[in-house]
Amino acid sequence: MAKTRQAQYSRRLQVVFSKPRKTFKERYLTAKGQMLLKTKQISKTEAWERYGKNRYVLDPKAKPVRNIHHNV
């Protein structure tokens, strides 16, 4: 007979911080968007809609408050 095995659970850790960990810093245009805008293949508004990205910074004042373990 085969040995029975106990169910193996993987645990996912969720960390809750005291305030939002990432804060918005700036919006920038990717290299491809800059190139298309420079060669006037697309308009400025279209370039920002398609190739605009957000840059975030980690906040050093955000401290971990609680850990939550999820059984998956």
With contact defined as beta carbons under 8 Å apart, do 36 and 42 qualify? Answer: yes
Contacts of 5 (CB under 8 A, 6+ apart): none
pLDDT at position 4? 65
Q: Could you give the CA distance from residue 34 to residue 44 in angstroms, rounded to a whole number?
A: 10
Q: Could you give the CA distance from residue 39 to residue 9 in angstroms, rounded to a whole number?
A: 55
In which residue ranges of the chain is pLDDT below 50?
Answer: none
Q: Is the pTM of this model over 0.85?
A: no
Tokens read off for 14: 């969720």
- Domain spans of the chain? 27-67
pLDDT at position 2? 62
Q: Could you give the CA distance from residue 29 to residue 36 in angstroms, rounded to a whole number?
A: 11
